[in-house]
Structure 1
């Protein structure tokens, strides 16, 4: 078949030749994968119509497809790596505006960074979707899959500089998500020496939920078990951005990530843990050691915790889908409602009742599949509804479980049983 005929077939959009080749590249058969890869590389090498071929493969999703092949286990991955590992292939792919991405595992981080830098400098409208986002996304699976790649990317001085430059350009939501994901995995190797991480990772004020989640996770990975990083974050802005995010966000995943990050900022010091618990209104994802420290707190500390606690936030945390977050909220409510000598705190009890927290505790008690969570909810319910005989401000038990605060998911008490009890 002549080259003119081949070019004519490729130019006919209704045949979708580029798309068919890309789909063939994903076949499970080794031989078909190798043959398809050879055809793609041959077309990209051919001087005649070269840029048309490159554009067709890029628009057809060749880059994400190649990444999927590289992420697969087994012989297909090995064969794809062999095809792409030839020196002339790597050189050609590097100058082809996007296709060097699959070579990253072989030529290490610098080649991938060059792709990102070149696409950033050229500023083409289509570069972000076709090149930048897949390239930045590639940093994350590489760092996640192999310690060597994570260490190389984290220690390479240009990595965070490039990611920072992308953020400073006010990039789109998709690229911001990719940058945050890559940073969350790479930044773990940084001993917070680089000054760029603050602009890259500190993005909890973005309105987009996925960007918020990626940014908070990046900071969480940075400060977890890293005392130096904890102090740097405290000096930079402290927990306030995360407290605001925790209070205002309605996304369970963002709330949980913010809770864990705030808790990591407290470090191992018991006094710092208590201070952080007070700052976040006592409703956080707490460890057992934290609960033990709170139980020994003074009356003033409990009063401060009660003042910082908001009923709306209590209800949101108890409705969370995360079992650990719900468990932490249930336990911290119990500690907040009890003072020294197991005396009740009417102010906190009233807040829980008015926020519908008692009904939520009852729902957990009756509907949860976790036995431990049911026991914790029962204990906390007893504490919340407990009142001293002389107390006039504590909520009576009957008032706390009124029908107005009972969720519709709770099973109704049969009338027959009520008659039996009355008799």
Structure 2
């Protein structure tokens, strides 16, 4: 047994290496000293170390049972742990780890081995640590903790920062990536100077090292963004983009930049102002078109340009739109590319009018619209819908065109999805379609859009923005321009439980904004519908006191909308005005801050409110309240530069024009008709339409009718515009129509071609008015004696009269009367002076 072979090994050594278990036991029984005998070569290995080197777990266990020393080392200072690492015996290492013998501290020995100056040893140890910490391993959690507790993180940082060859560092960095999800590991990494060390490695010429370091920084930037930026990561990452073209390297680099930009405007600016950054980004996209790379790039664009106008403009300035469109077209079957690219378009367009116009001009809107209609995946529909809505911006006309492009049917389908963003987009889209002079309120009801809207109000999910959007949409579906009610929609809202839910929101809403919006919408749903109004009053929780209290809320908008709610309930309804008065009434001082506000929206709404509520404002003369409100509205028509305000003001005048008889006379007396006509040249459909409808109501005043006729005779194009918006719910007066027919017989100046093209004329409205043109005339229209109304308007403001009430969509200005007080034309002139 003591005899040695040509390799200087004895029989015991051969049996240990070859796994001859019976021989091992017999040799030890014959001579126990053989158990620790060493080979006579340069290794001086014991049978146990030879068994480890063979990788045989069974032999190792046998020798340990026989009493072999587990902490034996050979002449190269390698014990069981080091040999396993060099040989790549991960399972055997796990056996020793689980054995947990204090004579063989596996983790300490591995960490010491990692610091070896020898390339082979450091690389082998790094690979073993990587394999031991693989997330797929059955013991990965325990191994992570053991490595961390034994100082593994500082050791890894030291190794990566050392002068060992670059290719040796890869496995060690992979080990760190395996355990980096832990907050404790990240904290220790940062506290041990890991960020500085790893950022330096981004300058490595070894692409594998750069890729792995970028992966580490990608994980760290979720928590330590500011520190990463502080140590100059951005310019170094930009340098990587300039010098490396390999997509596997670029993807984690882009993701790191994306994380740096996310949610931090200062970091977005830092990235965006790096010279040539966007140029290099776009060039990369032109050179690399594979899906994973494009996902990383578009995600980076998404976060870098989001809510950062300069970055949005800079990206567009280097033809970034082109690469986004190319990504959508090229990867129609890649859901990930589609989602990330659409999100980038959304961020590029949001709150940036110039970007919205540019993207639309480039055809992005058309591309997204096609995607929306072809896709049935909720997530992609959601992202695409959000991008389209961002492209529409805040312009109501653009929003309307966008909603029309999506279509009523699709918008209603969105209401039935599981995506909250789709619910919001749908509600907003239906909202704009139900507003304005060309409202699609009827189409929405017929497509069963009301029921799913109310179902959203009953949802147990806590999304205030969706609740507010739906409440407003129901409001617009109930009443149109000029306070014309849509009875079928109002009844449908009630039948679906909308009135009950709105009452609940008014009483128990989460905050005052929801309460006041619900109150305002209730007023609209009940406008002109006695059955619904009676139902509201029959509910014990309803009281005008609740709305009156909101007139004193802290938030300006709540107070303003509370006034609108009261004005809606009081509109052409003496009994409701009386009830509001009996329950406390309103004071003129409540409106003064809004009437004097620099905000035109506040002034416009308050002006309308004081005219409607003037009869029940006890601390100011009715004539004064009315005069102040009317004068402010006409001034807004003349002075405002905002399409939104001009449309709202014209709508308010349309509403007022069929309340008290003295009101239209007062509007006309201070040139309201002329200012409204000036708006018929607006590029905004909403402005043009609201002004047309207001003029249609003013045509029932004799002076107004003559003024309309004069303007239309002078410029027949204006009559074309009026025709477009006064065919259904808003009729021009018979007197005006007769006067127009006479003017045509006498002869009219031609309409220039460029102006004709601006009017979208329906098939039943000829380009040139024929002698038999009766557009805007309804055989059931009740004729009003305008001379009588004009005569009444000259009386004292305290003289009572019987006036026509609100007209609905079936008739024009019916003569059902209520008692009101008028504002005389002379009073208005006096107030103006």
Q: Distance in 2 between matches of 1:354 and 1:43?
A: 79
- The 1-side partners of 2:387 and 2:184 are apart by 35
Structure 2 residue aligned with 1:197: 324
Structure 2 CA distance for partners of 1:20 and 1:170, relative to 1, 3 Å: closer
Q: Deviations over 1:254-297 (max 9, x none)?
A: 74x66654443234545334444555659856999xx9x99983
Structure 1 CA distance for aligned equivalents of residues 469 and 391 of structure 2: 17
The equivalent residue for 1:421 is: none
What is the Cα deviation at residue 183 of structure 1?
Answer: 2.2
Kindly indicate whether the alpha-carbon contact (under 8 Å) linking 2:302 and 2:345 is maintained by their aligned counterparts in 1: yes
Q: Determine which structure has the larger helix proportion and give its number.
A: 1
Match of 2:463 among 317, 322, 330: 322
Q: What is aligned with 1:17?
A: 129
- Cα distance change, pair 198–100 in 1 and its aligned pair in 2 (3 A): same
Q: Which runs of 5+ in 2 are unaligned?
A: 1-75, 95-127, 135-142, 218-232, 412-422, 540-833
SS in 1 for 2:354: helix
**What is the alpha-carbon distance in structure 2 between the residues aligned to residue 197 and residue 63 of structure 1?**
34
- 1:216-231 map, 5 Å: 216-231=342-357
Distance 1:40 1:46, change over 3 A: same
The 8 Å contact of residues 472 and 521 in structure 2, kept in 1 or not, is answered as: yes
CA RMSD of aligned residues (A): 5.5
The residue number in structure 1 matching 2:158 is 38
**Max Rg structure:** 2
Q: Does residue 1:107 correspond to 2:236, yes or no?
A: yes
Correspondence 1:162 to 2:280 = no
Check if 1:148 corresponds to 2:270.
Answer: yes
Q: Using structure 2 for the length normalisation, give the TM-score.
A: 0.35
What are the within-5 Å matches in structure 2 for residues 253-332 of structure 1?
255=382, 261-267=387-393, 269-276=395-402, 281=408, 297-298=436-437, 300=439, 310-311=449-450, 314=453, 318=457, 319=459, 321-332=462-473
Q: Is the 8 A contact 2:365 2:388 kept in 1?
A: no
Shift of 1:38: 1.2
Contact 2:271–2:304 at 8 Å: present in 1 too?
A: no
What does residue 182 of structure 1 align with? 300
State the distance in 2 between where 1:44 and 1:312 align: 70
Which residue of the partner structure matches residue 91 of structure 1? 204
Is residue 225–residue 264 contact of structure 1 (8 Å, CA) maintained in 2? yes
Number of equivalences:
369
Structure 2 CA distance for aligned equivalents of residues 315 and 243 of structure 1: 29
| Residue 140 (structure 1) shift | 0.6
Deviation at 1:111?
A: 0.8
Contact 2:468–2:517, Cα closer than 8 Å, also in 1: yes
Look up the match of 1:136.
254
The CA deviation at 1:219 is 1.6
Structure 2 CA distance for aligned equivalents of residues 397 and 248 of structure 1: 44
Retained in 1: the 8 A contact 2:490–2:525? Answer: yes
CA distance in 1, matches of 2:374, 2:465: 18
2: distance between equivalents of 1:43 and 1:162? Answer: 32
How far off its partner does 1:197 sit?
A: 2.5
| Match of residue 413 from structure 1 | none
Aligned-pair distance for 1:356?
A: 6.7
2:122 corresponds to 1:8 = no
Change (3 A) 1:43 1:75: closer
Deviations 1:160-192 (A, max 9, x none): 3435666x4344xxx776444322023452431
- Match of 1:233, SS? helix
Answer with 92-101 or 199-208: which moved more.
199-208
- 2:476, 2:435 → 1: CA distance? 10
Answer whether contact 2:368 2:388 (CA < 8 A) is retained: no
Equivalent residue, structure 1, for 2:50: none
Which residue does 2:359 correspond to in 1? 233
TM-score after normalising by structure 1: 0.62
CA distance in 1, matches of 2:455, 2:342: 19
Specify the alignment match of 2:177 in structure 1: 62
Equivalent residue, structure 2, for 1:335: 476
Distance of 1:279 and 1:80 partners within structure 2: 53
Equivalent in the alignment of 1:80: 194
Alignment deviations for residues 197-218 of structure 1 (CA, whole Å, 9 cap, x no partner): 323478998795x876644432
TM-superposed deviation, 1:327? 1.3
Larger CA deviation: 15-24 vs 343-352: 15-24
Change (3 A) 1:198 1:240: closer
Instruction: Give the distance between the partners of 1:397 and 1:190, measured in 2 at CA.
Output: 52
SS of 1:369's equivalent? coil
The 8 Å contact of residues 272 and 278 in structure 2, kept in 1 or not, is answered as: no
CA separation in 2, counterparts of 1:222 and 1:100? 29
